[in-house]
Structure 1
Amino acid sequence: MPKTAVVILNYNGVGFLKQFLPGVIALSPDADVIVADNGSTDGSLDYLRRAHPELRLIVFDQNYGFTGGYNRAIDQIDHEYTVLLNSDIEVTPHWITPIVEFLDEHPEVAACQPKIKAYYEKDKFEYAGAAGGFIDALAYPYCRGRIFDTLESDTGQYDTIQPIFWATGACLFIRTADYQAVGGLDEDFFAHMEEIDLCWRLQLQDKLVYCLPESTVYHVGGGTLSKINPQKTYLNFRNNLSMIFKNESRINLIWKLPLRMSLDWISALKFWKDESFAHCLAILRAHKDFVLLLPQNTKKRRKPTHRANPKMTQNTVKSILFHYFIKKQKHFSDLP
């Protein structure tokens, strides 16, 4: 049995399956390709059974979200490594080999990602991961190659193998045992920020996360929720607060959580000013539901205390908002 399973979680994505699945199968000869279907109603199952009867298919009775779908799928496999792969990813030759070899040689590394580039602008990095993710002191995420909505062209400037804070869920290589040891993805998140939360928890368990740009894939992006969808705004704001509450130390929570929530209110007011009322309301709803989730999130905090991994990838900047909006430093390479 191959040591690697490539697990594609599908929800009403028959178009992406037809477009990208044949390439994944052809370019993954040393892995088992598995499709887990999240209750699709668009003919995905008929297509898979007709066009790819050789594939293992895991079928769920409903949509459990990105988090619940992957947790249930990974519970059913026993490969050493799992690749969480979005259905809208175009892979390239030898995309698996360098990362698996790196994991084989570095047992302290739990998770990796390849370089993620944009499918429709292949000279540019893609929003969801680029060349590896980081967070600032207030848990605002950004990447080598992408800060907020600024996407850099790839000129090889980030081709070094580097420890990162988080690896994208669009194409996430992870040791199956480590995934299960930290409880997998948080199902209360449903989708968005879940991979950052997972990587944070891995690092609190003395594991490391890396980007290996030798492997490259291309991502369409926005296949489930586009960035203009208020539901995406809701999930991002709610889940970010939950992630901070779950993983930060008690002493840091005293100042970080109120400050971050205050900045969220400023974002809500800006949406209101720009007449994006649905997004403003999405932030208010996110804060309400974050408060309602406090009892559950309190149980998820590590006990009795949080212990920082001395090798954990540190924040590269204290405030990405300051560097991006005030100092106009739009590229990762511009940051101190």
Structure 2
Amino acid sequence: MAGEADARVTVSAILVNWRQPELTSRAVASLERQTGLAERGLDLAVVIVDNGSGDGSLALLRERHPQHLVIDGGRNDGFGAGVNTGIRARPADVYVLLNNDAEAEPGFVAALVDELRAAGGTGNDRRGAVTARILLAGTDPLLVNSTGNEMTRSGNGRDRDWLVPAADEHRPAGEVMGFSGGAAALDARALDDVGLFDESLFMYYEDTDLSWRLRRAGWSIRYSPDAVVHHAHAASSGTGSDVFRFSNERNRMLVALRHAPAPVALTAVARTAAGTLRALLAVARTPSPEHRADARRRLRSFGSALRLTPANLALRVRIDRAARVPRRAVAAFLVAE
């Protein structure tokens, strides 16, 4: 980003669609209603990446949004791959991420960029990412979805302030361990430094992985309470779906092995193994279709994680060699289960 007050700042807002064009169009419309851009010198472009929906979504989105860049991702390689495609297609100073099942309030983009640029990106406060205040759409009373990502001392990644009543959540702008990929801003210089999302994770934990990499490289991650979105949680994938559970179980273990202190990583492995064992014992006691399906999925996720463990341990070594910040400094953000 340019450092002069009157310089233009290019912003690419990226949305990833997979077979949900109606949701995506509502998210795009919310970005078209953004305020406070001109006075801040922000040039906002919207990029929509269709992850190989194959259901007519691509043509429909191109017809509805001819003023925006709509990209054919070719196939569904996951959320991170879709975002990476959008970043490469429309380079900018700042990348804003918005889930396609979320709608942003009018000051969302301006608030994210204000917080990202506040320290000028120099000195000891190089701001690499800012995470938004994500509220759960349709809840009464209104509940919080996320004020950033955090990791527990057992390696579990989760949304900070999950299901806290919005009326009771008054956190000021400040440091968080990680950003939520559902609504955040990323500084292009930080991504040039540490790389884009890891596409091998496919979906879930890719934002936690990138947050660790940013922090180990000396970039800070902040929370902006003024950047607000309303999110229909997991409307695209479903929290009870097989792919959701498989990805969470596998990636929790892999990201802990890559980044967390050894006791945390070992606990994550033990938890995944214990969950698999419990599922197998449940089948032995009650061989119902539900128990069999759960055991098969857990065996697949644990087996996949085990196969990928050597590569992730090697990645851990490479991250350590390149790191500017010790692991213990990032681990100070870990919270109790």
If the TM-score is normalised by the length of the shorter chain, which range does it land in? 0.7 to 0.9
Mapping 1:193-272, distance limit 5 Å? 193-248=205-260, 252-253=261-262, 255-271=263-279
Q: Is the 8 A contact 1:208 1:311 kept in 2?
A: no
Residue number among 108, 128, 133 corresponding to 1:115 in the alignment: 133
CA distance in 2, matches of 1:50, 1:77: 20
Q: Is the 8 A contact 2:172 2:224 kept in 1?
A: yes
The answer to whether the aligner puts 1:23 opposite 2:12 as a matched pair is: no
Residue number among 42, 48, 67 corresponding to 1:35 in the alignment: 48
1:53 positional shift: 0.9
CA distance in 2, matches of 1:196, 1:136: 12
Letter matched to residue 145 of structure 1: D
Who is 2:302 aligned against?
287
Letter matched to residue 89 of structure 1: A
The answer to whether the aligner puts 1:63 opposite 2:76 as a matched pair is: yes
Alpha-carbon distance change, 304 to 27 in structure 1, aligned in 2, over 3 angstroms: closer
1:165 positional shift: 0.9
Deviation digits for residues 36-89 of structure 1, max 9, x if unmatched?
121122222222222221111222221121111212221222211001211111
CA distance in 1, matches of 2:254, 2:102: 28
- The CA RMSD measured in Å over matched residues stands at 2.4
Who is 1:296 aligned against?
311
Deviation digits for residues 7-48 of structure 1, max 9, x if unmatched?
111111112123332222222654111111211222222222
CA distance in 1, matches of 2:140, 2:117: 30
CA distance in 2, matches of 1:10, 1:305: 34
1:173 positional shift: 0.8
Alpha-carbon distance change, 93 to 298 in structure 1, aligned in 2, over 3 angstroms: same
Alpha-carbon distance change, 228 to 271 in structure 1, aligned in 2, over 3 angstroms: farther
The answer to whether the aligner puts 1:161 opposite 2:199 as a matched pair is: no
The secondary structure found in structure 2 opposite 1:227 is coil
Letter matched to residue 172 of structure 2: T
Q: Is the 8 A contact 1:163 1:208 kept in 2?
A: yes
The secondary structure found in structure 2 opposite 1:155 is helix
Q: Which one has the bigger helix percentage?
A: 2
Alpha-carbon distance change, 59 to 103 in structure 1, aligned in 2, over 3 angstroms: same
Deviation digits for residues 263-286 of structure 1, max 9, x if unmatched?
223334555649544233322222
Who is 1:328 aligned against?
none
CA distance in 2, matches of 1:292, 1:168: 27
Q: Is the 8 A contact 1:71 1:184 kept in 2?
A: yes
Deviation digits for residues 151-205 of structure 1, max 9, x if unmatched?
1211143331121111111112101221232121111100011101110110000
Q: Where in structure 2 are there 5+ consecutive unaligned residues? A: 1-7
The answer to whether the aligner puts 1:133 opposite 2:149 as a matched pair is: yes
1:305 positional shift: 7.4
Report the TM-score when normalising by structure 2: 0.83
1:256 positional shift: 3.2
Q: Is the 8 A contact 2:10 2:94 kept in 1?
A: yes
Who is 1:324 aligned against?
none
CA distance in 2, matches of 1:260, 1:132: 21
CA distance in 1, matches of 2:157, 2:73: 31
Who is 2:111 aligned against?
98
CA distance in 1, matches of 2:300, 2:328: 36
The answer to whether the aligner puts 1:3 opposite 2:15 as a matched pair is: no
The answer to whether the aligner puts 1:278 opposite 2:293 as a matched pair is: yes
CA distance in 2, matches of 1:40, 1:316: 37
Alpha-carbon distance change, 70 to 304 in structure 1, aligned in 2, over 3 angstroms: same
1:260 positional shift: 2.2
The count of residues paired between Structure 1 and Structure 2 equals 309
Bigger CA drift: 9-18 or 81-90?
Answer: 9-18
1:209 positional shift: 0.8
The answer to whether the aligner puts 1:315 opposite 2:336 as a matched pair is: no
1:316 positional shift: 5.2
